[in-house]
Amino acid sequence: MMDRIQKALTEKGKKAFVPYIMAGDGGLETLKEKLLFLQECGADAVEIGIPFSDPVADGPTIQEAGIRALSRGTTLRKVLEKVQTFKPEISIPLILMTYLNPLVAYGLEKFSEDAAESGISGCIIPDLPLEEEDFILPALEEHEISLISLVTLTTPVERIKEIGSKATGFIYAVTVTGITGARNDFSEDLAAFLSSIKSVSRVPVLAGFGVSNAEQVREVCKHCDGVIVGSKIIDLFEQGDLAEIKRLVSTSEGVSLT
């Protein structure tokens, strides 16, 4: 049975586009406005970053957005409380990107309960290894929150198979060896890498890290089920260029599912 994220990423018959924003960047009062705008633009889901003092996967753009959010007092609890106030207006899945430390500090059971009440559909936890997923998975499953798995260019084939057999929501395919941020090009092995994940995954495969323009969106989408764009979306919001965000989000509409 498809979970909510799987359904949202496949029901439109096109490649999926999932933008990333940092909660609290510009103030938590802007979160609703940004989410509703991205929903209106045609985003299939939105990844919401939770600012953290010691990120391991974030590049300079997202780190700076996190610092701006932290300086305004943004916390995981405040983000969930804010999202809950406009939950009925959101029709697409919301996915939190956070780290283990804030979740442990919050309390895993309480976090899962509050996240579900706020309408959160999934969680990405970059510093949670596959072998330790049971640390939080039962609490998430109890509240029907998908745990999104990451696969990198250096992940061994057997491990990809194991992840693919257990994955929920979608698999996050990391397209570069390193941190987030815009790239001019990708590895020549990217197409084969994405195809290898798709061949063993029971859920959609979305590519992220480094995707920053329409040409890259179209190219990457040829080899997987959609893309996640973060740093470029943050930059465009910071610049107030909403028209360009709308154009970028709509890029995947012309790439049909195969």
Catalytic residues: 47, 58
Report yes or no: 249 and 42 within 8 Å, Cβ to Cβ: yes
- In this structure, what are the phi and psi dihedrals at residue 144, rounded to the nearest 5 degrees? 60, 45
Lookup: tokens for 144? 């029907």
Cα 130 to Cα 17, 133, 237: the distances in Å are 25, 5, 34
Question: Across-strand partners of 149?
Answer: 171
Report long-range pairs for 157-163 (Cβ below 8 Å, ≥24 apart). Answer: 157/196, 159/130, 160/196, 160/197, 160/200, 161/200, 162/130, 163/130
Collapsing DSSP to helix, strand or coil, 83 comes out as: helix
Report yes or no: 245 and 237 within 8 Å, Cβ to Cβ: yes
Lookup: tokens for 141? 């499953």
Radius of gyration of the chain (CA): 17
